[in-house]
Amino acid sequence: MKTTILFDLDGTLTDSAPGILATLKYALKKQNIIPPDDLDFVLGPPLMDTFCNTFQMSQQSAEQAYNDYYKLYAEKGMYQNSVFEGVKEMLVELKKQGKKLAVATSKSQDFAQQIIEYFGLSEYFDFVSGNYLGQRDTKAKVVRYALEQLQEMPECAVLVGDRMYDIIGGKEVGVFTIGVLYGYGDKEELEQYGADVLAETPQDVVNIILNWDKKAELSD
């Protein structure tokens, strides 16, 4: 039985693209980098990786860009955001079923906490795990930290996410993975990286988890 459900934030719980992209364009322009027209590829990976690897910034420039991003995102960007339809109902149902719920995001932990509080979702979560001062800079580290704090074993947990980074991180830790198709990834990407199952809607996520529980009960 799956007792703990971990959720990615951006593209899984909330549609945060407008704020992320607007803030990123600002940070890039501050570094005299002209942003490409299509920036959707930045939705998912850690921001410092994007600055260093995608835009070939030096460590010093990347840190300055991150600081510029952080300041504007705190003031404005994180509120250019909305909860996906059906997400609140999904969380309510899973809590009714006795599940431990946690956020597991590559976003800065303080931003993640503020966002779920702003949208009235904090009451559903037992814990929020995110990047903290660069110490949890991969999805696998974020997931491990969440499981440690919840005192849960990987085989009893599920990670729900919308991008390959979620699937890769979940598999590294040894949790089951659900790839959602209403976020920023697509079916081809999620299948390529080995999502255990795909969900088209938040209600599908609930149905998948409860179906796993029924199968577990029958096998006992």
- In tens, the pLDDT along 10-41 reads 999 999 999 999 999 999 999 999 988 888 88
pLDDT for 220 equals 60
66 pLDDT higher than 80? yes
pLDDT for 215 equals 76
143 pLDDT higher than 80? yes
Of the candidates 49, 79, 109, which is a domain's last residue? 79
* Same domain as 149, residue 112: yes
Query: pTM for the whole thing?
Result: 0.91
pLDDT digits (tens, 9 = 90+) for 86-125: 999 999 999 999 999 999 999 999 999 999 999 999 999 9
178-205 in b/e burial notation, b at 16+ Cβ within 10 A?
A: bbbebbbbeeebbeebebbbbbebbebb
The tokens for 48 are: 């410092």
* Same domain as 204, residue 169: yes
- Count the domains in the chain: 2
Domain extent for 142: 4-15+82-219
* Same domain as 129, residue 196: yes
203 pLDDT higher than 80? yes
191 pLDDT higher than 70? yes
Number of H-type helices and E-type strands within the chain: 9, 6
Among this protein's residues, is 137 annotated catalytic?
Answer: no
Nearest to 169 by CA among 17, 18, 75, 46: 46
Given 8, 10, 68, 162, the catalytic residue: 8
